[in-house]
Structure 1
Amino acid sequence: MNKEKLLVIIGPTAVGKTKLSVSLAQRFNGEVISGDSMQIYRGMDIGTAKITPDEMQGVPHHLIDLREPWESFSVNEFQTLATDHITQINQRGRLPLLVGGTGLYVQSVTHQFQFAEDSRDEEVRQKWETYLQKHGREALHQALAQKDPIYAEQLHPNNTRRVIRALEIIETTGQSMAEYQGEWEKSSPYELAMVGLTMERQKLYERINHRVDLMIQDGLIEEVQRLLDEGVPVDCQSFSGIGYKEILGYLTGELEREEAIALLKRNTRRFAKRQHTWFRRMKDIQWFDVTALDRWEEHEQIIAEYVAGKFC
């Protein structure tokens, strides 16, 4: 049986994935599947750098605006939805492009992460909820760091829902999160082409800083205030995302405006570094350096030739 085709475009934030994905989708009769864990939320547009209808240029996009900001969303759900879309797009005779910067989400699809059976214990969860109320977010996060320091590094203390979930799993199963979550398939089930975009670090950081300035100019602070006015809880999953937790700190009086903006820039740069580390561990990626932005059309042509060689 022939494998389903899948083109993947990955790379750190602000490197140019969105622009490239639209161009390649137009060349290869494609449809884009967002691999971004934050763009699934409705009304969270500026802080997620969500593609606009004009930027889509008529290319169908999937897995955007699926959930309300107060709803939860898991990598398991993403894997199921993305896999279904890949099949449907192939059946339409078109090429699916999985595009994004959330490494776990992308890799859960490309190499079919196998999830362990769920484990719930209401009593244990309530114990840690009480601990949070008594001791605060930092102490809760430190409790996780003592039990599973590797996983704790991946979670911000504000993301109390996931911290408590991790503590619940560790206590009920005796396993670290890495042990509990399952394992990757060694080979992909897809006829796969993986394009990785990279850029000289200082240039990328300049683009990140400029993007944040544009987000503030375009109304990021007002977007977060609107979400608060609509009653979105400050401890929900969506508010733990970069761009929202920092502005939330300003609006709740924990930070000055310029402090929040500087923190957002710093956290985004650090996120880009973590993305790079994650993607460098993944196999089968063909990397393209796009530092020379004045040669973007040339970059696009070279990448298009690589994709054509993989699928045509």
Structure 2
Amino acid sequence: MSVPDIPLAIIGPTAAGKSALAMAIAAVDDRVELISADSMQVYRGMDIGTAKPSRDEQAAVPHHLIDILDPWDAYTVSQFVVDVDRVTADIRSRGKIPVMVGGTGLYVRSIVDDMEIPPQFPDVKAELEADPDTDGMYRRLAELDPVGADRMDSNNRRRVIRALEVTVGSGRPFSSFGPGMDRYKPSRVNQIACDRPRPSLDERIHRRYDVQMERGFLDEVRAVAAHPNGMSANARQALGYKELLGHIEGGQPLEVALDIAKQRTRRFVRRQHSWFRRDPRIEWFDLDAVDVGHVVERVLPLLN
């Protein structure tokens, strides 16, 4: 599958202001339609905690790949690539301009570089998921694919299982898939990254959680978790949801759960920085230092 005809991707860490910039661009050029590159905004009912665009924003500007699955459904980067290709073709057929916006690094990279997506091996995955020893699986991965193991958090059970599933099932190291994560070839997709100084991002993360709690985040998590079909392993890993589930299901004090969520989100932002900063093709903008209008002016010529 070739790289979809997307002229612009607005990327960067959580809470940096990607969505606001995307809306500002769409306000100036009404041909723009937005494609979400967020692995958690695909889930219906998970609205507050994933910081989805509001109903008014979605009514003002068409958004795609938001609310396309139930929380108990699985979703993979392979399916994301298929969905983006389909949505992009539809947008272009109507004379509109697709702009991708989001911070899920692998999703973005899969589109920008037309990566070879690792296949799925359900039987291998089921066997691994039945093994409670995440540390042992990580050690096994480190033996089979030391490069891939070195790139991931050893405590991220979902990612460890996925990497080991692919490595065992395919007979190839997980890290061997794609164009080479450290090789950056020319791409038709222009990448603009939103950023802010670390103290500013940390403050925005903390404030976002406070506002989300005021808006009913805890009740949202309760409602999603209470459904008879439950939540997929992927959905349960969502920032904030995992920690509030620890409060709801495991008795973790709410204040402690929120502190852990904020800490985990700060660490996640550091990893996003590390991921995106490796790509020399990305043009960065500090939104604490540069007016959004300036970025919009810089970006508009890229749409054509």
TM-score range, shorter chain: 0.7 to 0.9
Question: What is the CA deviation profile of residues 73-125 of structure 1, one whole-angstrom value per residue up to 9, with x for unaligned ones?
Answer: 00111111112222322232222110001011011111111224x36373x44
Q: Distance in 1 between matches of 2:258 and 2:146?
A: 28
1:8–1:98 CA contact under 8 A, matched in 2: yes
- Matched to 1:200, the amino acid is P
Identity of aligned residues (%): 38
TM-score by length of 1: 0.85
Residue 182 (1) aligns with residue 178 (2): yes
Q: Distance in 1 between matches of 2:156 and 2:161?
A: 11
Residue 90 (1) aligns with residue 92 (2): yes
Q: Distance in 2 between matches of 1:235 and 1:95?
A: 33
1:9–1:100 CA contact under 8 A, matched in 2: yes
What does residue range 29-44 of structure 1 map to in structure 2 within 5 Å?
Answer: 29-44=31-46
- The alpha-carbon deviation at position 23 of structure 1 amounts to 1.2
2:73–2:231 CA contact under 8 A, matched in 1: no
1:71–1:236 CA contact under 8 A, matched in 2: no
Structure 2 equivalent of residue 19 of structure 1: 20
Structure 1 equivalent of residue 210 of structure 2: 213
Structure 2 equivalent of residue 81 of structure 1: 83
Question: What is the CA deviation profile of residues 263-308 of structure 1, one whole-angstrom value per residue up to 9, with x for unaligned ones?
Answer: 000111111111111111224222111114xxxxx72221122123
Q: Distance in 2 between matches of 1:154 and 1:196?
A: 22
Question: What is the CA deviation profile of residues 163-209 of structure 1, one whole-angstrom value per residue up to 9, with x for unaligned ones?
Answer: 43432333344433112x33268232x3x332111111101110111
Structure 2 equivalent of residue 10 of structure 1: 11
- The alpha-carbon deviation at position 127 of structure 1 amounts to 4.1
Say how many residue pairs are matched.
296
1:22–1:56 CA contact under 8 A, matched in 2: no
Residue 103 (1) aligns with residue 105 (2): yes
Q: Distance in 2 between matches of 1:95 and 1:172?
A: 39
2:24–2:296 CA contact under 8 A, matched in 1: no
RMSD: 2.6
- Equivalent position SS for 1:45: coil
- Matched to 1:182, the amino acid is G
2:135–2:154 CA contact under 8 A, matched in 1: no
List runs of 5+ in structure 1 lacking aligned partners: 293-297
TM-score by length of 2: 0.87
1:39–1:50 CA contact under 8 A, matched in 2: yes
Q: Distance in 2 between matches of 1:138 and 1:249?
A: 21
List runs of 5+ in structure 2 lacking aligned partners: none
What does residue range 183-262 of structure 1 map to in structure 2 within 5 Å?
Answer: 183=179, 186-188=185-187, 190=188, 192-233=189-230, 236-253=233-250, 255-262=252-259
Match of 2:66 among 64, 73, 77: 64
Q: Distance in 1 between matches of 2:300 and 2:199?
A: 31
1:35–1:101 CA contact under 8 A, matched in 2: yes
Question: What is the CA deviation profile of residues 6-43 of structure 1, one whole-angstrom value per residue up to 9, with x for unaligned ones?
Answer: 21111111111111101101212200000101000000
